[in-house]
């Protein structure tokens, strides 16, 4: 998709979309192809695989326990009985 096409999906400026795409391109999560005056962006599959590996390495058992604790605390707060 072009920046103009992507802009319709977000509530930020075209300039902000362009800046984000530049950053995503620099870190290898999207690729860009220029065709005339347009630049078309697409997800980079290899970059997305690397990102998923990073998340999987980061997401440990301790973070799973943190999620469980946060959910328990949220339920207690909603019930009005924080312990």
Q: Are 43 and 25 in contact (CB under 8 A)?
A: no
pTM (global) more than 0.85: no
Residue 21 has what pLDDT?
95
Same domain, 75 and 54: yes
Domain that holds residue 21: 1-43
**How far is residue 35's CA from residue 41's CA, in Å, rounded to a whole number?**
11
pLDDT in tens, 38-57: 999 999 999 999 999 988 88
Is the pLDDT assigned to residue 81 strictly greater than 90? no
Tokens 């400026």 -> residue: 13
Residue 32 has what pLDDT?
94
Same domain, 77 and 58: yes
Same domain, 2 and 24: yes
pLDDT in tens, 15-39: 999 999 999 999 999 999 999 999 9
- CATH at residue 31: 1.10.10.10
Q: Is 33 left (phi over 0), alpha (psi -120 to 50) or beta?
A: beta
């Amino acid at each position: 998709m072009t920046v103009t096409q992507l802009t319709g999906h977000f509530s930020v400026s075209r300039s902000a979309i362009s800046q984000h795409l530049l950053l995503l391109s620099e870190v290898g999560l999207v690729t860009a192809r220029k065709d005339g005056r347009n630049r078309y962006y697409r997800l980079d599959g290899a970059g997305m695989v690397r990102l998923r590996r990073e998340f999987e390495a980061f997401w440990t058992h301790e973070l799973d326990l943190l999620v469980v604790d946060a959910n328990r605390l949220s339920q207690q707060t909603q019930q009005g009985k924080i312990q």
